[in-house]
Structure 1
């Protein structure tokens, strides 16, 4: 009798003989996944499960969940890392590169094309109206993300406290996002140490410890590949924004726990206030673009890179500078995913579970709920009001409490109306992201032409 295993929904299913795909079949299937991967990481993970586990039977439930748990611990886009992990399991490093790239490239091509259109024509009535509606709809999508993740992550009073503390630290204290994430992970580890005695580590039978020297060489190769554009950009194009793009998004790649929603507020703040690459409202436009394209939502960072390269292109043609900026942002964001998988997966495959790692992951996930709530409020203020000013609440030495204060006379009633209608479409009628954004875009066009 075939053995039982548990699927991602908790139901019992009977295992079936696994098949081994050819390299050509791997290319074909992940090209299909890359073109169909709309809806964010939850939908993308479900899509890969349906195709790779249920339809193709390339890997079983246990191996899929084991890979997913590891990817959830990593900074960066977990769905793309999972695609890379599955490709590595099936065809080694070559399979991992193919699966990881094909998961990203269709969406990257689309976001670069849309970014170019936005950079050149955003002041036109047609494009301005379209993005006016999309920005308002994104608010409802972000709120839905807060609720969805909160239901899954905040199951204990400890995790609810972490979420509240993360929101307070970001919204009122303006603490750096990486500090909030690292503090949450440390709190999770301490909580696990205090509440239970020791970590449980289960070894996977039939695995062999990889040679340490080889894994160090793999790690060094991918790190070098990741950073090699930087000295070239410093030497060849120092007057452009391209070196800063490589440095900034390389840093982001190390701290993007929780996906695009979690890091977006921090990126928007630095890109707008420090580098002056874009305006706060324009980050909403980018998020709306990324929501309408396949691939990881973190592709919104390529939109930011495009605008930075376009507007600070030096002697380059602005469109060439924008294209290079978008590609460099993608390079800095996604290459680390290959580092984590190829260097770490051989060791992770030998472990079935580690309680301390799970505790750190659950703590980070809880903090991310507070981060996304902060993002939702920050975006809402900049969409619904034309003017938002900082307001100081308290100053006691190094402790300074402040919060953004909207100017009520600058309320944008049409934007508020579209945001409310988008929320109704999502929460009441359960329409998908694509349909909601299309409807909001049409409403935005109507508002622009009528008013």
Structure 2
């Protein structure tokens, strides 16, 4: 899973063609299978949801391996924030596109999602067979708190790396973080407005300059059988999750309230308890949070329900990434685009920082979980080469031991 040399979160945009030249990628410093293998690993051990996952990609691919350049990463993050769908999956798809175009985007996207999909299908089968998973609450007690520490550290690194001393970006960052905390959601219009604001401030179009305006804001075999399928229900599942994947902006967490209104309230496919368990499964398994749609699909229509729900959710985000990607690549070096991306990036990092507080409200419930979160951040700060999966595993074991003590029956 560790390719050649190892810097952090960066796509080699420095080795990609200039905006005005051919769209064929120049020779990268890694093979496609290296990136696919990395994404398979990240999808297998990448706990923490979208905020942590985009942080892992930055650290591993930009800072450590130097496979991706800073500018490519920022372009990918901006595109992922602007397009509907799960943030981390879209960023992974874009990073695959950077040097290996459609083939890279496709293989990387599949590699990133497949491990967590297999896990939630297995958990869905166990859940359906045994009527619930009692240990899930104990594990999430520890893992959820530990993940807050991981996310907080990632948000700190992103902030110091990308915001710097730019006062305008700091204002955008603080506004975005505040709005995220208050609304408990990510507002796409805020990202767009931030991009336009920085664009007009740093590289205003001619009509703005001439107008004197500056700074405008704007049973295993049975899983696969097709004989007993409810095709009408399966079509409903596909249609609904395709809709969810096409119109929900922001991180994977943004889709949770949207799914609740449809899956529980509108269709009545799951009970409140089942839906909460589905979200818990997504949080205690690695990979994108949106993979909870696979678990929900399994509970609704078995294995093929999981397949249809996952495909319907991720196909729109794949298309919304690879279709505009060539234009981001071609025009991404222009001053106006750089300014726009900087503004969107500042708003995105603000939203990520705000999400730490939002998620923390749900995961930090007592002194034990607060201590786990702080200890996670401190350990990872002190031992920078310590793999996060080791920390998450330790937190899961701590949760199994401490939850019964903190919450006696």
Task: Answer whether contact 1:306 1:322 (CA < 8 A) is retained.
Answer: yes
Aligned to 1:440: 399
1:265-305 alpha-carbon deviations (Å, 9 max, x no partner)? 33234433333333444444333322333322221232222
Structure 1: distance between partners of 2:80 and 2:154: 17
Deviation at 1:105, TM superposition (A): 0.6
Residue 184 of structure 1 corresponds to 190
- Paired residue for 1:359? 343
Partner of 2:270: 278
CA 1:239–1:245: 2 relative to 1, 3 Å: closer
Number of aligned positions between the proteins = 344
- 1:405 corresponds to which residue? none
Name the structure 1 match of 2:289: 297
Any conservation in 2 of the 1:162–1:363 contact (CA below 8 Å)? Answer: yes
Contact 1:138–1:287 (CA<8 Å) still a contact in 2? Answer: no
The 5-angstrom pairing of residues 255-334 of structure 1 reads 255-307=247-299, 309=300, 321-334=301-314
Q: Equivalent residues in 2 for 1:207-218 (5 A)?
A: none
User: Counterpart in 2 of 1:314?
Assistant: none
Q: Cα offset for 1:120?
A: 2.4
What TM-score do you get using the length of structure 1 for normalisation? 0.61
1:337 and 2:321 correspond: no
Conservation of the 8 A alpha-carbon contact between 1:262 and 1:371: no
Decide whether the 8 Å contact of 2:181 with 2:357 is kept in 1.
yes
Instruction: Please list, as runs of the form range in 1=range in 2, the aligned pairs for 1:34-113 lying within 5 A after superposition.
Output: 34-49=43-58, 52-53=61-62, 58-113=67-122
Q: Deviations over 1:90-149 (max 9, x none)?
A: 3332222111111111111011111221232245xxx32x12324545664686689668
Report if aligned partners of 1:142, 1:376 keep a CA contact under 8 Å in 2. Answer: no
How far has the Cα of 1:362 moved from its partner?
Answer: 4.2
Any gaps of 5 or more consecutive residues in structure 1?
Answer: 1-6, 171-176, 201-232, 310-320, 381-414
How far apart in 2 are the matches of 1:61 and 1:31? 22
Moved more, 336-345 or 42-51: 42-51
1:331 deviates by: 0.8
Among 411, 414, 424, the alignment partner of 2:371 is 424
Q: TM-score, normalised by structure 2?
A: 0.66
* 1:349 CA displacement: 0.6
Please tell me whether the aligned partners of residues 49 and 252 of structure 2 are also in contact (alpha carbons under 8 angstroms): no
C-alpha deviations, 1:44-68, integer Å up to 9, x for none?
A: 4454456545676544444344434
Determine the structure 2 residue equivalent to 1:198.
Answer: 204
* Residues in 1 aligned to 2:235 and 2:392: alpha-carbon distance in whole angstroms: 35
Decide which structure has the larger Cα Rg and report it: 1
Deviations 1:192-213 (A, max 9, x none): 588677269xxxxxxxxxxxxx
- Map 1:167-178 onto structure 2 (within 5 A): none
2:3 corresponds in structure 1 to none
What do you get for the CA RMSD once the two structures are aligned? 4.3
Check the 8 A contact 2:74/2:345 in 1, yes or no.
no
| Contact residue 253 and residue 332 of structure 1 kept, 8 A | yes
Structure with higher strand content? 1
- For the Cα contact (< 8 Å) 1:303–1:326, is it kept in 2? yes
Distance in 1 (CA, whole Å) between partners of 2:173 and 2:65 is: 37
Structure 1 contact 188–363 (Cα < 8 Å) conserved: yes
State the distance in 2 between where 1:44 and 1:252 align: 21
